[in-house]
Amino acid sequence: MTERRGIGIFGGTFDPIHLGHIHLANSVYQKLNLAAVHFIPAAHPLLRTPPQASEAQRVRMVQLAVATQPFFSVDDREIRRGGNSYMIDTLVDIRAAFPEAPLCLIIGVDQFSKFDQWKGWLDMPSLSHIVVTTRQGFECVLNSQIKDFLFKHKTDKVRDLQQLTCGKIFLLSLDTLPISSTEIRGKIAKGEDVGPYLPKEVGDFITQCGLYK
Ligand code: ATP
């Protein structure tokens, strides 16, 4: 088996982090034989409504969720940087910190279908690979610009992601869990049980803080 060298970069609002996120990160870690996955909570995510939990609460929930997996970690650089969170700035920083490592930006197909709205999207392959994952309930509908971008960089070889440090787009079909943070927040607001969707420690934290009521 190839040496584990690649680093997964998994950004999100994580309001809250849920088992769908953890399952996704685990699947990508295993299928791409990554060395690590860095979870990166966004400070001010664009293209969506502002988070309900505070930045500190979202970071804490991600810490609680990944604590038992040694190859997962929380990177709070977007929160420390403050202001709008742009993944391109994050990738520039991480590339400087890990000049030799393959980087794999992990995004769901729901995000990839809006990728042309991300600042610096065309430059991202010069910093990282992009791993686009399927998500149950979301179709892969891409406009012509994103399709062109995909075909320019697409690979179906996992070894490209291991041998090159950046530059490729890989579509990864996975069995994902049909869960979203929006649904979880809605259920909590209605007083419904969300235990099955969350790591236990995250559920306990939400209850202690009275979040999403
Ligand atoms: P919200 O419902 O608040 O928009 P979300 O559940 O989509 O939140 P995010 O934090 O916005 O979660 O997602 C971060 C990343 O995780 C995105 O790339 C998204 O596509 C992916 N993702 C979220 N939930 C799942 C899931 N259940 N299965 C696979 N991928 C997921």
Residue with CA at minimum distance from ligand 1 atom 7: 180
Question: Tell me, what DSSP letter sits at residue 195?
Answer: G
Residue 109 CA to residue 113 CA, distance in Å, equals: 6
Domains in the chain with CATH codes: 7-176 (3.40.50.620)
Q: How confident is the model at residue 46 (pLDDT cuts 50, 70, 90)?
A: confident
pLDDT digits (tens, 9 = 90+) for 182-213: 999 999 999 999 999 999 999 999 999 999 99
pLDDT of 17 > 60? The answer is yes
What three-state secondary structure class fits 184? helix
Q: End-to-end CA distance of the chain, in Å?
A: 48
pLDDT of residue 136: 80
pLDDT of residue 129: 98
What percentage of the chain carries pLDDT values higher than 90? 87
Say whether pTM exceeds 0.85: yes
Residue 122 CA to residue 87 CA, distance in Å, equals: 12
pLDDT of 1 > 70? The answer is no
93-121: average pLDDT:
96
57-78: average pLDDT:
97
Of 10, 181, 211, best ligand 1 pocket probe by most atoms within 8 Å of the beta carbon: 181
Give the list of residues 6+ apart from residue 161 with CB closer than 8 angstroms, or none. Answer: 6, 32, 102, 104, 129, 131, 155, 168, 170
Helix (H) or strand (E) holding 172: strand 169-172
**CB neighbours of residue 63 within 10 Å:** 18
Of 9, 10, 13, best ligand 1 pocket probe by most atoms within 8 Å of the beta carbon: 13
pLDDT of 138 > 90? The answer is no
Helix (H) or strand (E) holding 26: helix 19-31
pLDDT of residue 100: 96
Max distance between CA atoms of the chain, in angstroms, equals 49
Give the list of residues 6+ apart from residue 147 with CB closer than 8 angstroms, or none. Answer: none
Please state whether beta strands 169-172 and 36-41 pair in parallel, antiparallel, or not at all (unpaired).
Answer: unpaired
Q: How far is the CA of 1 from the centre of ligand 1 (A)?
A: 30
158-164: average pLDDT:
96
